[in-house]
Amino acid sequence: EVVYQLIGGLKSSMGYCGVKNIEELKKNTRFVRITSAGLRESHPHDVMITREAPNYSTSH
């Protein structure tokens, strides 16, 4: 399950960055660190969740 989640995140980030492989991802991207407040703000908020998705948890 953990590996499945990691692969999904990697594929998603490669799509956001427009790269075709991990080598391009390493060469053509830059990691930007954000604060915990920025992370909370970047997620949907003020939304009532009626049923939590099995692959996403809101309790971070």
Domain ranges of the chain: 2-42
Where residue 1 falls among pLDDT bands split at 50, 70, 90?
A: confident
Nearest to 15 by CA among 2, 24, 27: 24
State pLDDT tens for residues 8-58: 999 999 999 999 999 999 999 988 899 999 888 888 877 776 777 777 776
Cβ contacts of 19 within 8 Å, gap of 6 or more = 25, 28, 29
